[in-house]
Amino acid sequence: MLPDAARSADPEHLDRAVLVLADSLADWLNHIGFDLRDTAEGLYFDVLRHDF
């Protein structure tokens, strides 16, 4: 769970929370028809479905 903005958060806690969120976001994007990948040139975003 991400902390609220009322007080400072432990940077290590935030790093762990962001990594979990990033994995979930990538899974969700793939589920709805998109692909998000790191490449040598940078971040790559592809549309896998064209039926919506």
What integer pLDDT is reported at residue 3 of this predicted model? 67
Query: Binning pLDDT at 50, 70 and 90, where does residue 1 land?
Result: low
Q: Please say whether the beta carbons of 29 and 43 come within 8 A.
A: no
Q: Which candidate, 3, 25, 27, 26, places its Cα nearest to that of 14? A: 3
pLDDT at 2 over 80: no
Residue 2: HSE in the Cβ half-sphere, 13 Å Cα cutoff: 9
- From residue 16, alpha-carbon distances to 12, 13, 43 in Å are 6, 5, 21
Q: Please say whether the beta carbons of 13 and 2 come within 8 A.
A: no
Q: What is the mean pLDDT of residues 11-26?
A: 87
Q: What is the mean pLDDT of residues 1-14?
A: 80
Query: Binning pLDDT at 50, 70 and 90, where does residue 52 land?
Result: low
